[in-house]
Amino acid sequence: MLKRKEHISQIIVTAAQMRDIEARIFAAGMPVSALMEKVAGLITRRIQDIFAQASQQSTVTLLSPQAGILVGPGHNGGDALVVARELHFSGYKVWIYSPFDKLKELTSQHLQYAQSLGIPCYQDIEQLPNCDFLVDGLFGFGLERTITDPIAAAINQFNLWNKPIISIDLPSGLHTDTGEVLGTAIRATYTLCLGLWKQGLLQDQALDYVGKAELIDFDIPLADVQAVLGNAAIKRITSATALSTLPLPRPPVTHKYKEGHLLLICGSRRYAGGAILTALGARGSGVGMLSIAVPESLKHLLVSHLPEALVIGCPETETGAFAQLQLPERTELSSFSAIAIGPGLTKDATSIVQEVLASDRPLVVDADGLNILAQLGTIPTLQKRQAATILTPHTGEFARLFPDIADAKDRVKAVREAAARSGAVVLLKGARTAIANPQGAVWINPESTPALARGGSGDVLTGLLGGLLAQGVNKEIPVEDIVATAAWWHAQAGILAASERTELGVDAFTLSQYLLRVIAGQW
């Protein structure tokens, strides 16, 4: 059973959900002022830790650090004012920028007290003194309107200062749910998210503004979280949850077929590399038995790269694409634990994809398999399937599969609707990969690297996912958990490889070689 801290670190909320959770806390008797003091105290200590670490790494030691505090009209501004007070008492030189005439009552009281302490307060950005860093408390969660001048101009000016900015809860100007920039937004160096992760922080379009995001846990009762979210929670994939789904340790008495038999159907003469990379991803999963169906002319190439695999050469067209899926004698699609299809196929393989979709095997569909599925009609085709189906589109493929669903502003909403309507588990690739099952559960992978933005990286993921699915299908592991683990594992391999080789040095072949290094370092 997960410990509370691990459970809290997984949960992602919308603005409405956070509002309801806070309402329960306040209704139970927690004073707003007491919670503000607690939260701001935690923020202050984290800011001091960040600044202390930065000072240790710098050749210049500042005896009296200078902090600029940006104060908005709501309770986010109140948090910032308590931080200003506490930094002032700790010996920091502090000034306050408070450009709003009307403040919430509690925020106004904290501003009055800060001024009584002699902390200078300014409304005009042109009058602001220098500082070593800024604390952004302009807007908290729930902002929905576009920011206009003069606040927009001030935010743009702060971004040009080239000073570290620590945003409270989320960078001011970001939509809490979609991560959309509402006119303009603070480009934070750090974001200290309060209580529970906000959905917008894990949307691709927010990532240029979030900086390094951390959760400030102020002890929200799990009962309140569960009462509001129920079973439809959106969760971050953490290392603990990903590792718990791995097929490790293996039982002392087992054999290759007990550890899953995966069939890969991939490749063509034009895209032979797709078959190799997919197979290398499957090898990295540790699947017990790997069969690879390829056009006949690719057979020797695949054998040379994966001598342990059973490579099945199939009849091919004049252009080197699949003409027919021809399995060995006494072998049917039902002989396999799972099937993965798509990388490198070309659209000439439509009949092969139709045959596999009609099978009763758990199935991963990627690349040309997705393009063919889109031509066949995604939703009516998938609604006929009885077995688990996993789709792994990038944004372009997603738009072809679900042309009336794709929503660039809210990937979480889009992937959840696609899964519900198709009956498939959908993995939407991106800097923050989102995964949804048909029942409405969503997982988001919170860590990745632009090193994965290279041809073939997705093929490795398809093989890895297929191998994990083949191993997990008889272990009663939910399919979406297997998908989440594959996404996490794939991303961590890219992160590890990039740390050693730079982001430019992680080609897809290299990525496949780092898969087992990730697990060896964790297990």
> Can you say which residues are annotated as belonging to the binding site for K(+)?
76, 136, 172
In this structure, are strands 212-216 and 190-194 parallel, antiparallel, or unpaired?
parallel
CA–CA gap between residue 111 and residue 125 (Å, rounded):
17
CA–CA gap between residue 14 and residue 229 (Å, rounded):
10
Are 84 and 135 in contact by the 8 Å Cβ rule? The answer is yes
The annotated binding site is made up of: 75-79, 136, 140-146, 169, 172, 344, 394, 429-433, 458-459
- Tokens representing residue 430 in the block: 């991106």
Q: Whose structure tokens read 């718990």?
A: 244
SS3 content of the chain, % helix, strand, coil (to 5): 45, 15, 35
Burial string for 140-156 (b: 16+ CB within 10 Å, else e) reads: bbbbeeebeeebbebbb
Instruction: Quickly count: other Cβ atoms within 10 Å of residue 62's Cβ.
Output: 13
Residues 6+ apart with CB under 8 A from 315: 295, 296, 322, 323, 324, 326
Integer angstrom CA distances of residue 54 from 15, 61, 166, 273: 32, 10, 13, 45
The annotated binding site for AMP is made up of: 429-433, 458
The 3-class SS string of 140-174 reads: CCCCCCCCCCCHHHHHHHHHHCCCCEEEECCCCCE
Are 193 and 214 in contact by the 8 Å Cβ rule? The answer is yes
- Tokens representing residue 1 in the block: 């059973």
Identity at 157, one-letter amino acid code = Q
CA–CA gap between residue 180 and residue 174 (Å, rounded):
6
Residues 6+ apart with CB under 8 A from 516: 284
Integer angstrom CA distances of residue 346 from 286, 351, 369: 28, 12, 8
Are 415 and 391 in contact by the 8 Å Cβ rule? The answer is no
CA–CA gap between residue 143 and residue 185 (Å, rounded):
11
- Alpha-carbon dihedral sign for residues 103, 107, 113, 118: negative
- Tokens representing residue 447 in the block: 């860590």
Q: What is the DSSP code (8-state) at residue 1?
A: -
Q: Whose structure tokens read 């004073």?
A: 31
Identity at 306, one-letter amino acid code = L
The annotated binding site for (6S)-NADPHX is made up of: 75-79, 140-146, 169, 344, 394, 459
Q: Residue 412's closest CA among 195, 179, 185, 170?
A: 179
Which secondary structure element, helix H or strand E, spans residue 191, and what is its range?
Answer: strand 190-194
DSSP SS3 for 313 = strand
- Asked if residue 150 has a cis previous peptide bond (ω within 30° of 0), the answer is yes
Are 175 and 143 in contact by the 8 Å Cβ rule? The answer is yes
Q: Whose structure tokens read 């800024």?
A: 134
